[in-house]
Structure 1
Amino acid sequence: MARDARRRPGASRTASRSRQRGRAKDNEGIMSVLARAVREIEGSVQRGSMKPSVRTKFQVIALLVREERAQVKADETHSEAYRAEQLKRLDGIATILAKVAVRDASLLGLLAEDAPVSDAARALRREMLTAAGRTPGPEEVPVAAPAAAAVNTAKRQVVPQAVISRQLANPFLAPDYEAAAARPAQKSATRPRRLVNWELIGPLLSSFENATDGTTASMALPDAGAVSTPPGLELMPHQARVVGGTEAGHRTFLLADEPGLGKTAQALLAAQAADAYPLLVVVPNVVKTNWAREAARWTPAHPATVIHGDGDTIDGFADIIVVNYEVLDRHVGWLGDLGFRGMVVDEAHFIKNKKSQRSQHVLQLAEQIRSRTLRPLLMALTGTPLINDIDDFRAIWQFLGWIDERKPGRELMEALEETGLTPVDPGFSSAARAAVIDMGIVRRRKSEVAADIPARRVADLPVELDDAAGRSIRAAERELADRLVARYRAALEARGDAGAVDGIDADLVRRVAGAELADKSTKTGENVFSMIRRIGQAKAGLAADYAAQLVRSVGKVVFFAKHIDVMDAAEAIFAERGLRYSSIRGEQTTRKRQQNIDAFVNDPDVAVAVCSLTAAGVGINLQVASNLVLAELSWSAAEQTQAIDRVHRIGQAEPVTAWRIIAAQTVDTRIAELIDGKAGLAARALDGSDEEVSSASDLQLEALVALLTDALTASP
């Protein structure tokens, strides 16, 4: 007995060493797999063989490197030396990926945190993890390939056990007697006559560009009345008016309030007023936990559940079911059969591409809900309903049932008939725009409804990149400008005198810039995408240094960056300065992200929130700070606005300043001017702005146009 007892500590140490050796071997396995795969990618790019399978492998390697880095950093079972060695090996793999991306800039998009992950990528990821001796978890199981959708739909779909229990408890949907009584009345409704043969979708969309009258596009709502809210919570008047509109019987809303005006609370209380339960809420992944939290605050009598992965942990009997776009394909089958009486789509601009799977699933579910409930509550929430083109409205309007693929819906058609006008008649655009707005567009600006929210401003801080990196960037920019000028002059020579114009041919400039943008080859030199990435890397230290200074003078600061390496560099500087920070990134689990948000908001010693511009740009509240630093510029003005509105929100007690770090004497300055000069389609279509709209405005193209124009102006 004593002998056995004496052996146990040694046996325990042996087992511990065995487990550590097992983990070490496991890491060695993944490193070997990644190293071999990245060399294969490098060889393929050098041979000019960029097949879809190569692009898939590139993305999967990047994902695994990112995940492995996070695991190594969090692993406390190994020594610092071992972890440093593993991180060094991962850096080596990442360096090869970066070099490959420089050779083919089209790969850069695959490195973005919000880049879509295809079924093929999921399958390859599983294979690589298996080859490394690891067992993928449930979230990592690939879904079936779309090429065999007819055969594999059943494999792709899941039905959580909790949902089966709900169905067994109530196997029949409650009959909608209201719908049955109303349908005969529909048949006797006014039938379209004057407009039956007109194409109307195009004129309806263009009316939002051409018929602005200087007023915000917002339907008439009842005056703010008393809305029952849980103790300690109170709606602002503009929020109460939407709930009042729902109580008055309105059931479809494009709630396009500017970010920060409390759209989540309005939607939840509108659903309560309409008794729209069960309620389906479709949201981006980063905000689904926040939706459950807000539901518990504003409508505590109606339990909410969140679908994670295959939905094994959901409450099948909940009144509110929250699902993110990324896993909607797995659950669209049973969701369509559950009998929802309401549906909310948050960040509705996510469905603007009607060809995308996420858009098709959302539209399918909305149609199923309309087929079973006469007047369901349907709400599309977005502070930036238009990103690129007025056509972005199509999918949102179709979700709400205002239009279908070819024509207006019955209710909108009747409203258009009542105008007595056709698209060729004067005044049709104004009348059509008003008819669509009355269908349920609600747009309020902070300046109109939230006088207690302080003003915000964007302050530019030009920085000089006077080191070797800065000189290299400026040289690359000159090389790019020279290449554009050479293309322009070659096109002029090929054209001869025909079509010659005095001075700079603006049309030819745009065509040359477009050709450069479409040319993904880097054999002739660096392109604008890799150059902007390098500028962000070069600014990282300066931006972090300024953020650290702000902390000393104003307190908490939010630091936004677009790329992981910029975030890493900033966090290293904050650590050197002894500043505690929270990191909010795309690769984090929802629970970890929320813990980091709570730490920044609630812990007075956490001075900085280091946020991914794409992963933290929506759905989180950071108004505990009033200063933020934008370390990198985005290609989207809306993305910058979303980031600022994480701080400039209801509850903010101080003026908000966004400090935008601009690299002087580089294309960075031109991009900042383009962002500021772009009126934005929302301003034109929804806010009644008289400013011109570039309907297919593309900052990338405009940046190249400006670069070429400046070079031609400066050249003899």
Structure 2
Amino acid sequence: MFLAPFEQLKRKPAFERKERNAEELLFQILFDDHGAYLETVNRNLRVIAADYRQYSGPVREVLRALETIQQKNSFVIDWEKNPDQVYLADYDFLLWQLRECSNLVNEQGKNLLFAPGEGKIIVRLEGESPLQGQVILQHENQEFTNWQLISESYLLSENQIYQVKPLGSNFKHLPLFQASVPVPDVEKYLSLLFSSFPEVMVQYRDYQTVTLPEPLPPQPTLIFEKIDENNALYLRVTQVLPNFDVDFLEQYEVDKIVNLNDLENTISVRPVAYQPYADLVNEVVSLVTGKTKSKKALHSFYQEDNLLVIPEPIARDFLRNQLPYLLHKYQLFGAEKLKSYKIAAVKPKLLLMLRSSIDFLEGDASLELQGQKFSLFDVIQQYHKNRYIQLSDGTQAILNEKYIQRLERLFKKKKDKVKLSFFDLPLVEELLEEKIANEYFARSRDVFQGFNDLKKKKVKLPAVQAQLRPYQEQGFKWLHYLHQHQLGGCLADDMGLGKTLQAITMLSTVYPAQQQPSLIVMPKSLLFNWENELRKFNPALTSYTYYATTRDLAEAVKHHLILTTYAILRNDIEKFKEQAFYYTILDESQNAKNLNSQVSKAVLLLNGQHRLALSGTPVENNLTELYTLFRYLNPAMFGSADEFNRYYTLPIQQNSDKEVAAELRRKVYPFILRRLKKDVIQELPSKIEQTLFVEMAEEQQRLYEERRRYYQTFLKNQIIQEGIQKAQFFILQALTELRQIASVPESKSDNLVSSAKREVLLENILDAAANGHKMLVFTNFLNGMELIGQDLNQAGIDFVEMTGSTSTRTRQERVTRFQQDPQCRVFLMTLKTGGVGLNLTAADMVFIFDPWWNTAAENQAIDRAHRIGQDKTVFSYRLITKNTIEEKIMHLQEKKKELFANIIASDSASIKSLSETDIEFMLGA
């Protein structure tokens, strides 16, 4: 067990310090069992206060400091003898003065140097079970695992001393965390770590550390230790945290508790709100002794701290009459030891008589307790009233509280019957004997087992103009299986893995045979991308983009697919709810995540035979979003929002209940297909490039058209009068201004017109950051950098930025931070700045905010991430504003690939290669 080394963390007296002499500390750092101290290199050196001025400034300052220490502690300085050491941990300030001493050496006599800047401590958990905990000293681009503590602020590695943020009074315990950790003990390990070092950075898989301000109160607990030969009851009063051993809080002094949330991949750190032990013990003692009629037995009652030894007469009365009052506040351990007192911990047997309904099973449910049969809801009611069930032979049956809570989650009351959701059948089956399970759950078992057999299942792919990768074929099989069984699901692949293609492939099996149209709802930024993907992968699928003022639902339903936005759906829901759809598909379904929003309410009114959601971040902030998603996909899966919060959200998020979290995961697991890029890395090429099309808002379009018409007329006249060669300056000016309006119209409108691209970029960055990705964002315009930086700050995305004016030292600091700090998600820079000499392999996503025709420069920028040392596929996205010069240049590049492939000069040089026809094409309507 990893906990063995942590015995030193238990509440023990601090080390007793011997009185030590101070002077033999000036030049050499040595270590013993108590830590780091200093000795002089020259044993023959004799130093007294009057001699200080003969030494150099730094040495003289250290000697003066040591004289102060000597006077304060009544030390006798004698350099010819071997005095006691002065420990640097006790006099941390000496290290500031020793920084300037050139004669500071290590044990081998080699010079020690102080590293510039500040390092950081990272605790990394790697490997399988058991995990290996490594404490790493990180400084700039280097990591050190071989280090020694000098004080709470300094560490020594090799021949350098590194300063870190103060580790606090527990700093000597840091080496204990270099330990082997079984996976079940990770939360204990991290709780001890954060209690000792609250500011330390932890790296564990792809989990993010989240600090929660709300304290977690431990559960007051009664532990029945034993019944002795005199039938006396040994009762311990303590406090226990969920998911932790009953003795953990008594063994270790922790003030922080850590829980791993596997649903959201977070490490939650919360303060512990202890109740005073004395108050708990006194409460129990008063109930044990306060109402006893046996005064004689009171003489045998014994208390030692939180352990009570209760003689039989008092114990019997306490267990029968007073214990039920405590059970509403206290949890019990060791109830199986109370048989002699006619109290029994009973394992119930669940009995069912059910018949099938549409989405539910209905009928009777009962529990058998030691041969006695009780109605399920009678047991639940009696349990909440008394905390035990009274059996006919006088035994008080104590049931497992989590078992009762599980029954409440699974079974709903319908008059005098029970109702059970189809989606809960696998969970109920776990509670039944095999014979009964076979009788009622054969069909449902086949459906749920089918999800596990999909890899072996053969399905004919429809005709689409794409070669699906193996994971995409698997995604299509999953979608097809949901379709067959009329189940809703969420395709939750990571950004860039082709969710749209997989959905189009599924729709291609339905159309053209199906007569009913299907509705696809998305953010407006995706409308043009869906149009392009449909044309690219299956032009036979007809589509109507239901958007803008000319939208016509009567015309739209004549097509296979209707594409619209969440905003339009909300505004036109009265029309949409009257239309029957074959499929309703929500792309970026997190846009309908807010339970009480108008968009979420509109989505629920849609009438579709099949329901599907696409999202790279199905659960962004809390489990209520998961409920909102499945209320749309499979309405029968959960009850009301209040029930979901009571049965799932509160136990998981407030109490960190692992069993409830595991149950919820099992319940939704078949209906969410989630693949991250790292999961399918072997199936991906090393680099994938995509284009994101953006539509201008009305104000931006108006501004763009005004300037486009102006330059179209102006340049036509210039070229006629002066010729195209002499018009180069004006051509560059025109193209540059139109590019700015297409990307950052704020710079040409005194911030009155907003960029549509910024909204799309931020959506994608938030999506990628939620999935743990790091990104490079390139722009040509400083205005763009400023505005994007503002957006990132407002969204709470940590980032660094770099322009041509950034100094070399600052560049390196920012590169190091981006590469090493897991919280730093975005590196924002100009295209030219980022094009040369940077190695940014921590990023696996690149956004070109305002593309230009110099694709060589863009490729150089993308290669900042895609180069030696990169072990992930790099996804690059070019943002193109529709109906602007950007789209025209993209088409021109496609037509004249050879021309642009030969352009390696600056932007202005490439303009010379454009003809008058090219200029007219780019500036034309």
> TM class by shorter-chain length?
0.3 to 0.5
Structure number having the greater strand percentage: 2
User: Which is higher, the Rg of structure 1 or of structure 2?
Assistant: 2
Normalised by the size of structure 2, how large is the TM-score?
A: 0.28
- Higher helix proportion: 1
